Amino acid sequence: MDGAIAAGEAQNGADWKVGVDIGGTFIDFCALEANSGRVASLKVLTTPDDPGAELMMGLTLLAEREGFDPSRMTRFVHGTTVGINTIIQRKGARLALFTNAGFEDVIELARLRMPEMYSLFCSRPDPLISRDMVFGIPARLRADGSECQAPDMTAVESAVAMAKANGAQGIIVSFLHAWRNSAQEASVKAAIARLAPELFVFTSAEVWPVIREYERSSTAILNGYVHPRVSGYLTALEEGLRSCGVPARPMLTKSNGGLMNAAEGKRACVNMLLSGTASGVIGASWLARQAGQDKVLTLDIGGTSADFALIIGGEPQFGTGEVIGEFPLHIPSVAVSSIGVGGGSIASVDAQGVLRVGPESAGSTPGPACYGRGGERATVTDAMVVCGWLGHTEMAYGQLRIHRELAQRAIGELAAQLGRTVEQAAQAIFDIAVSEMFVEVEKLASRAGVDLRDFTLMPFGGGGPMLGAFLARELGMNRVMAPRRPGVVSALGGLVADLRGDFIRTIFSSLSAASLPVIREAFEALAQEGRDWLAAQGHDAAAELNLSCDMRYVGQSYEIEVALSPQWLVDGDAATIAQAFHLTHQQLYDFHDPDGAIELVNVRLSAIGAGPSLSLPEIDEIDVPANPARRLPVYTGLSIESVDLHDRRTLVPGNTFHGPAVVVQEDTTFAIPAGAKARVDRHLNLLLTFME
């Protein structure tokens, strides 16, 4: 990503496209000058007490350093953690839930699963809506969608009055079978609007009209819970951009890896809860395709967490059921597994004398001890400094200077408790962090049924390159690819992302030739909905429509998503659809029943509007050894060794060198263990292979 990215469209003047991603410690900027293809990047420390202030500060710094005129910014894409942080911190809106009388316990019962199945002492999280704010409304639909009992508007009026008296800011309406017939929910919403226009209202059918009342209700609740903060944040963002003279309409990264405009973001807040993690995977997928890497395991390490995802065939994997804080998210999203181990994760010794790492994080304020911003507790970053892998240049584009003595003091307190030297304690923190990630990645690989030895690890984020090569070695992976600017891959993901809207229709039908017209009708309705959505986003070019169905064998409780060709519906080819399901079931579970009856539960459609066409420059490789800038002492686990230090800016395609080594750059530091051979490819990626 250094130097230039070739833009697919020619533009007059110095027009800029800017991608921004806010993490727990830093906000990242990746800016592309459209006419020359020049790329600029920047990191700015976050301001937790004033979300959004760091954004304007970063844009100002970027403009000063690169000399671009904000009035020439033609594209602005933004990923934010405001929504997910609201849920994690439980600082969202006070909500009321209107549901069917007799079903007031739906969100407390949930699915009766415990967070830790083998613990006798764990408990489920408290719902986001307290029991006294759940109101049963006499109303009922039959399973076929016909009305059995009309909503009791007197009860609605009473419930609204009680909700207001209890301090409700908004109301969620979720009735049984609303996925099939949303009229009752709509009528109650209209009544609430008349009775209390100051309250916002969301219905389950308008947020995500899917079968199963808990999933539908919880998704609508998440949407309403974050609505005030997200809406307020986006309004302030729009005003801030206007005050800076930015003409570009802000676009937002979504959990599904696509984009939407800010107007929709204010309504469909639930769609952007995983925007940062998803855009990182989208950026990594784009880089993988550019480099010809077909199978990739991504490792995105920030200040508070490590996120993992699989890229297969150059494309990210998608799913539902991702966990947001303590709650499942049932809309489609890029499949990402997370663990609370990051660069700022705090190390401590528990009452039994056992060393622990995370999930508590030092964040950006005060941050790791070595930042010199008031932090006193030892973190993973401090451990890397004490071992010597980190701290040889200023960090975050010159914004941070590493204080080695502060890191040694923080680690020294733990070392005294453990009866080890400072270096041994630091190495133990480092090893635990890697082992925690190892466990999570093994779970991911097992669920996906893949052999990680066939994959390339791509570390990014501020901390990914610090730990990535060591994790790859433990996993038995032979290849590692570090992009030229790993620290801003998530911001890059926003620049290369497509518009993407996901739509669903529950049909609940057996698979047969007679049911295909029903499926085709659902597909055509969703296709029109998708085209309308893209038009509302300002997309007037061709649309890509991807069809899939949630299917299962009769008698199964849960279904799997199967990609389908619309032509199969046109041809009435039920046999090919069945074969696609059998094949997918075989791949996931290693068995299938060719004679088993099949049910279709949901029809899904993704409407995609292609984003800007960009590509990395290619530079001819010249096979020559790299010249290190100097040597430095590093504790490699058993002893202190003298290792080479390389400056990433001086490395050119074809350069090679061997580990152990350290590669420094403005946005991160790449730690390379012994036994690894490094080579710079024609895209300026740094490729590692482990010698057997």
Is pLDDT above 60 for 464?
yes
Q: What are phi and psi of 126, to 5 degrees?
A: -65, 140
pLDDT of residue 408: 94
Is pLDDT above 60 for 1?
no
Mean pLDDT of the chain: 88
Q: What integer is the mean pLDDT of 591-604?
A: 94
Is pLDDT above 90 for 39?
no
Which residue did the predictor score with more confidence, 480 or 492? Answer: 480
On the 0-12 / 13-18 / 19+ scale of CB atoms within 10 A, 501 is buried
pLDDT of residue 11: 39
pLDDT of residue 8: 41
What is the CB-side half-sphere exposure of residue 485 using CA atoms within 13 A? 26
On the 0-12 / 13-18 / 19+ scale of CB atoms within 10 A, 350 is exposed
Is pLDDT above 90 for 61?
no
pLDDT of residue 24: 62
How far, in Å, CA of 585 to CA of 582, rounded?
Answer: 5
- Domain 287-342+432-490: assigned CATH number: 3.30.420.40
Is pLDDT above 50 for 689?
yes
Residue 13: pLDDT band (50, 70, 90) is low
Is pLDDT above 90 for 392?
no
Tokens of 294: 């077909």
pLDDT tens for 311-324 read 999 889 887 777 77
Determine the angle formed by the axes of helices 489-496 and 275-291, rounding to 10 degrees.
80
Find tokens 């030297």 and name the residue: 421
What is the CB-side half-sphere exposure of residue 447 using CA atoms within 13 A? 14
Burial 42-75 (b: 16+ CB within 10 A, else e): bbbbbeeeebbebbbebbeebbeebebebebbeb
pLDDT of residue 49: 66
Is pLDDT above 50 for 3?
no
Whether the Cβ atoms of residue 436 and residue 339 lie closer than 8 Å to each other:
yes
Is pLDDT above 80 for 113?
no
How far, in Å, CA of 532 to CA of 173, rounded?
Answer: 25
Whether the Cβ atoms of residue 664 and residue 392 lie closer than 8 Å to each other:
yes
Comparing C-alpha atoms, which of 38, 27, 34 is closest to residue 65?
A: 38
List Cβ neighbours of 505 (8 Å cut-off, separation of 6 or more).
209, 522, 525, 526, 602, 603
pLDDT of residue 322: 73
Q: Count CB neighbours of 8 within 10 A.
A: 12
Is pLDDT above 50 for 7?
no
Q: What integer is the mean pLDDT of 669-685?
A: 94
Q: For strand 456-460 and strand 295-301, is the pairing parallel, antiparallel, or unpaired? A: parallel
Residues of the chain with CATH 3.40.50: 87-230
Which residue did the predictor score with more confidence, 396 or 353? Answer: 353
Q: Provide the residue type at 497 as one letter.
A: A
pLDDT of residue 112: 72
Residues of the chain with CATH 3.30.420.40: 287-342+432-490
Residue 617: pLDDT band (50, 70, 90) is confident
pLDDT tens for 530-554 read 999 999 998 888 889 999 999 999 9
What is the SS3 assignment for 439? helix
Find tokens 């895209």 and name the residue: 683
Comparing C-alpha atoms, which of 326, 354, 357 is closest to residue 342?
A: 357
Q: What integer is the mean pLDDT of 593-612?
A: 92
Tokens of 261: 């405009």
Comparing C-alpha atoms, which of 297, 304, 263, 260 is closest to residue 281?
A: 297
Q: What integer is the mean pLDDT of 652-662?
A: 94
Q: What integer is the mean pLDDT of 446-468?
A: 91
How far, in Å, CA of 586 to CA of 561, rounded?
Answer: 13
pLDDT tens for 399-426 read 778 999 999 999 999 999 999 999 999 9
Q: What is the CA radius of gyration of the chain?
A: 26
Residues of the chain with CATH 3.30.1490: 499-610
Which residue did the predictor score with more confidence, 394 or 492? Answer: 492
pLDDT tens for 153-200 read 999 999 999 999 999 999 999 999 999 999 999 999 999 999 999 999
Q: What is the reported pTM? A: 0.85
On the 0-12 / 13-18 / 19+ scale of CB atoms within 10 A, 410 is buried
Which CATH number, 3.30.420, 3.30.1490, 3.30.70, 3.90.1170, labels domain 499-610? 3.30.1490
Q: What integer is the mean pLDDT of 275-296?
A: 91
Which residue did the predictor score with more confidence, 577 or 68? Answer: 577
pLDDT of residue 4: 45
Is pLDDT above 50 for 10?
no
What is the SS3 assignment for 341? coil
- Alpha carbon separation from 220 to 96, 169, 410, 481 (Å, rounded): 12, 15, 44, 39
What is the SS3 assignment for 148? strand
List Cβ neighbours of 268 (8 Å cut-off, separation of 6 or more).
207, 223, 260
Q: What integer is the mean pLDDT of 63-78?
A: 83
pLDDT tens for 316-348 read 988 777 777 678 888 888 888 888 888 889 999
Q: What integer is the mean pLDDT of 55-69?
A: 80
How far, in Å, CA of 221 to CA of 196, rounded?
Answer: 19
What is the CB-side half-sphere exposure of residue 411 using CA atoms within 13 A? 28
Topology of domain 87-230, per CATH?
Rossmann fold (3.40.50)
Q: What integer is the mean pLDDT of 282-300?
A: 93
Whether the Cβ atoms of residue 428 and residue 355 lie closer than 8 Å to each other:
yes
Tokens of 324: 């947001």
Question: Looking at 12-26, 85-99, 165-179, 268-282, which range is the least confident one?
Answer: 12-26
Whether the Cβ atoms of residue 496 and residue 314 lie closer than 8 Å to each other:
no
pLDDT of residue 12: 41
What is the distance in angstroms between the CA of the first residue and the CA of the last residue of the chain? 31
